[in-house]
Amino acid sequence: MTENQMLAPAPTAEEQQQLDQLYKDFDAEHLIPLWTEIGDLMPMHPKPQAVPHVWRWNTLLPMARRAGDLVPVGRGGERRAISLANPGLGGRPYATPTLWAAIQYLGGHETAPEHRHSQNAFRFVVEGEGVWTVVNGDPVRMSRGDFLLTPGWNFHGHHNETDQPMAWIDGLDIPFVHYTDAAFFEFGTERVTDESTPDISRSERLWSNPGLRPLSGLDNTASSPIGAYRWEHTDRALREQLLLEDEGHPATVHQGHAAVRFVNPTTGGDVMPTIRAQFHRLRPGVRTPPTREVGSSVYQVFEGRGAIEVNGETHTVEKGDLVVVPSWAEWSLLAETQFDLFQFGDQPIMERLHLNRTYIEGTK
């Protein structure tokens, strides 16, 4: 017996027969009663089909290499990307109902051709170098620790300048955009439109100057104009938060837990309308307060060892491992060593639609 169930006297045989006929007639007319569905449709609290799950970097990377040997990259398939398929989501290539997460692999001197799409995309580099992603003609170097943006409807391709392959993580809102029937796609050039390999992209030169906005860029944009958020800045920001905490000043989000959100400098808000991206650093031994929030997240360990506890189960993780935290799951981070994690999620969707809700143990 489900949580929500109609309480009424059992129908007579005749009533049951009429009811059966009614349900058949509903079916013929493409109608479905609420009263038989409400327990599943409208639960007491979110009951995601997506489950918490861990993908190991040690498994992912070798498989990506095998794909590199067997599967060409080019027009048609577009990208040699292998997506995390949440075991609860019925074999769809979805990390969570809204988010796509994949390892992408590009062999030496390979090019992933240019295209553009409504879907918002980013890349995060847990190790390696040598690839430039070219966004609307602006070549952006990809290096360890960098967070790189390709907001919706920007042309982009990747090319590997070196003899060595490189792999990284892609994050997109593919499932959400698919679900909402909002997807557009357009092919671009076969090779990237600019094959130069500058250290710093033009977008960074214009926009990554703290607190300084070019007068040529006074119109706000839906997504961040910064093509790359560099590791040196992220690392310094986190280090400074912990130093400030040491000096007795408010700076960290919890004791021993430094964290930054990647933001759009034209608004101070999330980098893209559907995706939040954050970076966490925990001191050894720190455990964050158990938290639930509406919206799903994917974590990737960048450095260090620790665990993610989700719904009471502890998952020990290390560099490169990816963990999915479904909506309203109770989660906590535990650091064994200094523990650096990249996180992305769909919380901007929830906030913009006023569906967000958060519960943090020990607060009101």
Single out the segment in contact with a second copy by CB under 8 A; choices: 123-131, 204-212, 304-312, 330-338: 204-212
**Among candidate residues 312, 281, 246, 298, the one with its CA nearest the CA of residue 102:** 298
Report in angstroms how near the CB of residue 112 gets to a second copy at its nearest: 11
User: Taken in order 73, 78, 81, 84, is the CA torsion positive or negative?
Assistant: negative
Q: Are 226 and 277 within 8 A, CB to CB?
A: no
Task: Spell out, one character per residue from 120 to 149, where the chain touches a second copy: x when CB under 8 A holds, - when not.
Answer: ------------------------------
Report in angstroms how near the CB of residue 334 gets to a second copy at its nearest: 18
Tell me the site size for a second copy, rule CB under 8 A. Answer: 139
Question: Which residue has 């703290």 as its token pair?
Answer: 210
- Candidates 10, 212, 362, 364: give the one binding a second copy (CB under 8 A): 212
Report in angstroms how near the CB of residue 75 gets to a second copy at its nearest: 6
* Window 268 to 297, contacts with a second copy (CB under 8 A): 268, 271, 273-274, 278, 294-296
Q: How many CB atoms lie within 10 A of CB 237?
A: 15
Report in angstroms how near the CB of residue 311 gets to a second copy at its nearest: 13
Q: Are 58 and 126 within 8 A, CB to CB?
A: no
Burial class (CB in 10 A: 0-12, 13-18, 19+), 339: buried
- Candidates 50, 134, 335, 341: give the one binding a second copy (CB under 8 A): 50
How far is the CA of 354 from the CAs of 54, 349, 358, in angstroms?
Answer: 30, 8, 12
Q: How is residue 266 written in tokens?
A: 């034209």
- Candidates 24, 58, 71, 246: give the one binding a second copy (CB under 8 A): 71
Task: Spell out, one character per residue from 82 to 121, where the chain touches a second copy: x when CB under 8 A holds, - when not.
Answer: xxxxxx---xxx---xx---x--------------xxx--
* Window 308 to 347, contacts with a second copy (CB under 8 A): 326-328, 346
Report in angstroms how near the CB of residue 263 gets to a second copy at its nearest: 5
Q: How many CB atoms lie within 10 A of CB 193?
A: 15
Single out the segment in contact with a second copy by CB under 8 A; choices: 64-72, 156-164, 281-289, 300-308: 64-72
Report in angstroms how near the CB of residue 285 gets to a second copy at its nearest: 20
Query: Nearer Cβ to a second copy, position 67 or 127?
Result: 67
Tell me how far apart the alpha carbons of residues 6 and 222 are, in angstroms, rounded to a whole number.
46
Contact between 58 and a second copy per CB under 8 A: no
Contact between 193 and a second copy per CB under 8 A: no
Q: How is residue 296 written in tokens?
A: 């799903």
Tell me how far apart the alpha carbons of residues 10 and 15 are, in angstroms, rounded to a whole number.
9
Query: Nearer Cβ to a second copy, position 45 or 144?
Result: 45
Residue 112, beta-bridge partner list: 158
Query: Nearer Cβ to a second copy, position 41 or 144?
Result: 41
Contact between 72 and a second copy per CB under 8 A: yes
* Window 220 to 279, contacts with a second copy (CB under 8 A): 220, 222-224, 226, 229, 233-234, 236-237, 240-241, 243-244, 249-253, 259-268, 271, 273-274, 278
Q: How is residue 189 written in tokens?
A: 């050039």
Query: Nearer Cβ to a second copy, position 85 or 287?
Result: 85
Task: Spell out, one character per residue from 8 to 47, where the chain touches a second copy: x when CB under 8 A holds, - when not.
Answer: x--x---x--xx--x--xx--xxxxxxxxxx--xxxxxxx
b/e map of 142-159 (b: 16 or more CB within 10 Å)? Answer: bbebbbbbbbbbbbbbbb
**Among candidate residues 185, 118, 184, the one with its CA nearest the CA of residue 151:** 118
Contacts of 342 (CB under 8 A, 6+ apart): 124, 126, 147, 169, 277, 278, 279, 280, 299, 300, 302
